[in-house]
Amino acid sequence: MPVREHNLLELLKKFSEQFHPVVPFNPAKEKLILFDFTENNATLKEIDLSDTEKFCDFINGLLQKANAKFGAGGYNELRNLYSRSPLFDNNVNNHFSEIEEPRRLHLGIDIWGAAGTPIFAPLDGTVHSFAFNNNFGDYGATIILQHESKEVKFFTLYGHLSLPDLQNIKEGDFIKGGQLFAHFGEPAENGHWPPHLHFQVIEDLGNYKGDYPGVCKFSEREKYLANCPDPDFILNMNRFQM
């Protein structure tokens, strides 16, 4: 990873209070609950998470029971739920006849809520790239914004979007901070997940376009977390979790 003149994490901390909300949430009137998808959550063992409809019912039930607008969490969280998709699960290396380590460590924050929920740019940026990653368990419709100043360049990734959002942009488009540019997608267009936003901060995007790993191997945790700092320094939502 190239050395930056300024540390991205320190910059995000410095300007944390100045970012525009990414989703519409009024903590004075609305509730946000913490979602735990680690193995410590015994309830997950009772749900067939490979069944998208049942998974959706489970998420909706949690939100309704708590009378919450959103559920959120997941940064640096080790999740077994990715076994629902071969995209993340063990892959046999036929050349060496070995089982590769599965990807299970989550690198962004997920905000779970209603399909169609609007998404706003937290700060000025340009559309770096976008794609429809249409594998079961993948991002589905995805947009990556590039943010650049004298101090640092970095990227924000928005996954599990509404497919029509990709028809309204092109690479290089300027997106103003606070501009509505995307929405939570339905399962058929968001990688077959319950509606939510995967929000991730990335310092070095490498050669990726319209995609970047949102889940890594646990053995690669240190490398990926160094490149993907805590998105809550932009979201400023964890403090409101109940």
Q: Quick one: average pLDDT of 113-127?
A: 98
How would DSSP label each residue in 27-53? TTT--EEE---STT-GGGGGS-TTSHH
Lowest mean pLDDT: which of 98-102, 160-164, 196-200, 203-207?
98-102
Token representation of residue 81: 């739920």
Q: pLDDT tens-digit profile of 127-170?
A: 999 999 999 999 999 999 999 987 789 999 999 999 999 999 99
Please report the beta strands in the chain, taking only residues with DSSP state E, as ranges in sequence order. 32-34, 70-73, 77-78, 92-93, 98-99, 103-106, 109-112, 118-120, 125-133, 140-148, 153-161, 174-175, 180-183, 196-202, 215-217
Which pLDDT score, from 0 to 100, does residue 89 have?
Answer: 73
Say how many C-beta atoms besides its own lie within 10 A of residue 132's C-beta.
15
Is there a contact between 175 and 114 (Cβ–Cβ < 8 Å)? no
Token representation of residue 159: 């996954």
Token pair 């996954």 is at which residue? 159
Q: pLDDT tens-digit profile of 28-79?
A: 999 999 999 999 999 998 999 999 999 999 999 999 999 999 999 999 999 9
**CA angle in degrees (0–180, nearest 5) for 107-219-129:** 35
Higher-confidence residue of 95 and 164: namely 164
What the chain holds in terms of domains, given with CATH numbers, is 8-240 (2.70.70.10)
* Burial environment of residue 27 by CB neighbours within 10 A (0 to 12, 13 to 18, 19 or more): middle
94 pLDDT above the threshold of 70: no
User: What are the angstrom distances between the C-alpha of 207 and each of 128, 129, 211, 212?
Assistant: 11, 11, 10, 9
pTM: 0.93
How high does pLDDT run on average in the chain?
A: 93
Lowest mean pLDDT: which of 15-19, 117-121, 161-165, 208-212?
15-19
Instruction: Please report, rounded to a whole number, the percentage of residues in the chain having pLDDT higher than 70.
Output: 93
Higher-confidence residue of 207 and 150: namely 207
